Structure 1
Amino acid sequence: MIKLFITTSIVALLFSCNNKEAHKNNVSETKKEIIVSNEKIVSLNGAITEVLADLGYENNLVGVDVTSTYPSSVKEKAKDLGHVRSLSIESLLALKPTKVFATDKDITPEQISQLENAGISVEIIKQDYSIDGTKNLIKSVASTLNNTNYETLDNKIDTDLKKLKLIPTKPKVLFIYARGAGNLMVAGKNTPMEKIISIAGGENAITEFEDFKPLTPEAVVKSNPDYILMFDSGLKSIGGIDGVLKIEGIAPTNAGKNKKIIAMDGQLLCGFGPRVGEAAVQLNQLLQK
């Protein structure tokens, strides 16, 4: 439970979107129409929210969680219910939804029972941090709404992934999660960060442990990453690139010596929603600079 809390807490944060314009040009290819539906939907997962919006159900969203940062217009239309770990069932019920979407990592059995007892349909979607897992999530969301247009989203992912370029020597990438210089953690195996790094053509610098653990100078030096990867909000919280280079253990690494610091939008990077191909390509390009 502790590991799950750490993982979901890191993924489930508000992130500013720095790739909006690029995606805006692609939305017209995937979102063909606005669906006219009587459903009042609450989404408790950012990837699911993106799927719903791309399928045409954005206007049906009445409530979303903290990770639902894309498209930005969602927060203008739907109530922000905050983090799923502190979710107020009363606030959710007040929205009178007909359907609640969440992944198997986002909601407890007790909360599910409360919602079902109130006559609300609860759709629990399995989320696997992979390309096939993302496609399955898209299909599952669409199927519960009897929507058959999801293949357009799958095709977009495939089209994006074709833009990936082979990196002959896989660079080692260390993901650092930061909320100020006093709160630093690194991503180990079986994390969304490890998965997206691999898809983009790199390899995770940490192989000794799973999930997230506090950063130690010894571990950083030992891993000797070629690149440091962060959320753009995290980089800002520690004072930019200069702040990263002041972290004990970073300076002697290849990444530190060459100032190879990459920052990306958090939900784009690790959300594993319809933009997963975009995220992989963006990271792939940055790993070649």
Structure 2
Amino acid sequence: MNRARSALQFVHGNLNAVKMRRIKFSIYVLSAIAVAACGGSGQRAVNSTTKNFDSAKIVSANGSITETLCALGFQKNIVGTDVTSTYPEAISGLPKIGHNRNISAEAIIALHPDLLIGLQQSLNPDLQQQLAAANIRVISLPLVYSVAGTKTLVQSIADSLNVSPKAQQVKDGIDKDLATRVVLKSHPKVLFIYARGAGTLMVAGRNTPASAIIELAGATNAANSFEDFKPLTPEALLESNPDVILMFDSGLESLGGIEGLLKIPGIAQTNAGKRRKVIEMDGQLLTGFGPRLGLAVATLSKELNDAQK
């Protein structure tokens, strides 16, 4: 009887040991999976199944995206930006990854972000492959230069970060600002000039952010005979003969102000030059097409209205 009892105890002991080994093995496997999902470092990685992005480290590759992230409550998550990210002012102190059309993969990887968010027109395939190899998720979004396009961008970013309801407040803010724009009595011809000193002067044609914002403000782009940007020439100035010249404040400053602008051949002979009708605005505000789009349109419409007086 004692031998039988000892045999049963031996069998149960072995069975319990087997069960414990299986449990320990299962825990080991689950732990290994969890570590692998975090990149092997024990840190939480952001992937397509992530539900909460509150602690995600984000790099923004566009000024409009940076503004949108801040408007959605993710300013604290941003660890780096491109050089066009100038608003809000607190962002300017963050590490820079280059211009949005010439982004450095090495600069991004050095920041150890969970994800990078950029525009499709700026993120080239090689960059995306380099970031994927570094286990950095890339969110690439389109931006159409219109009110609807901006609202779509806001909603897409909110959806990507699982905060969809927050987008409506940002979009409502755009509409609220748009409601304050001035309705112009006429449609003045406006020429946007991009300048980086007298040696770099370009004018904006159709299908550019500058052309889109001019039209949203109720004016006409004076350079509608071509698409994209072209070098500024005296002949083009005389042909377009704008009523108003529009520039980035930094661009006008690079020329030495209005007096420097009037020294550019052909400028003084235009209607705008003769009447010194020049409007300068912050570049990111004017052509960013982000959450401040309504403010940009309203501000430009008021400036144009004053220029007609």
Normalization by structure 2: what TM-score?
0.80
- Return the offset for 1:91: 1.9
Change in CA separation of 1:162 and 1:258 when aligned onto 2, cut-off 3 Å: same
Pairs within 5 Å for 1:159-174 = 159-174=176-191
Contact 2:205–2:223 under 8 Å retained in 1:
yes
- Return the offset for 1:254: 1.1
Correspondent of 1:56 among 46, 65, 73: 73
Aligned to 1:287: 304
SS in structure 2 of the partner of residue 100 of structure 1: strand
Q: How many residues matched?
A: 254
- Return the offset for 1:195: 0.1
Contact 2:202–2:232 under 8 Å retained in 1:
yes
Correspondent of 2:210 among 193, 196, 203: 193
- Return the offset for 1:257: 1.0
- Return the offset for 1:84: 3.2
Report the residue type matching 1:179 in the other structure.
Answer: R
Aligned to 1:125: 141
Correspondent of 1:227 among 234, 244, 250: 244
Per-residue CA distance 1:7-39 (angstroms, 9 max, x = gap): xxxxxxxxxxxxxxxxxxxxxxxxxxxx98110
Structure 1 unmatched ranges of 5 or more: 1-34
Q: Distance in 1 between matches of 2:104 and 2:287?
A: 25
> Does residue 1:146 correspond to 2:162, yes or no?
yes
Max Rg structure:
2
Report the residue type matching 1:48 in the other structure.
Answer: I
Structure number with higher relative contact order (C-alpha < 8 Å, ≥ 6 residues apart) = 1
> Does residue 1:112 correspond to 2:112, yes or no?
no
Structure 2 unmatched ranges of 5 or more: 1-51
SS in structure 1 of the partner of residue 190 of structure 2: strand
User: Between the two proteins, what is the percent identity of the paired residues?
Assistant: 52
Aligned to 1:208: 225
Root-mean-square deviation (CA), in Å?
1.2
Correspondent of 1:256 among 266, 273, 278: 273
- Return the offset for 1:183: 1.2
Correspondent of 2:285 among 260, 265, 268: 268
Q: Distance in 2 between matches of 1:266 and 1:53?
A: 18
> Does residue 1:74 correspond to 2:99, yes or no?
no
- Return the offset for 1:83: 1.3
Aligned to 1:19: none
Question: Which structure 1 residue ranges, 4+ long, deviate > 3 Å from structure 2?
Answer: none
Report the residue type matching 2:158 in the other structure.
Answer: A
Q: Distance in 1 between matches of 2:228 and 2:81?
A: 26
Contact 2:53–2:162 under 8 Å retained in 1:
no
SS in structure 2 of the partner of residue 243 of structure 1: helix
> Does residue 1:87 correspond to 2:103, yes or no?
yes
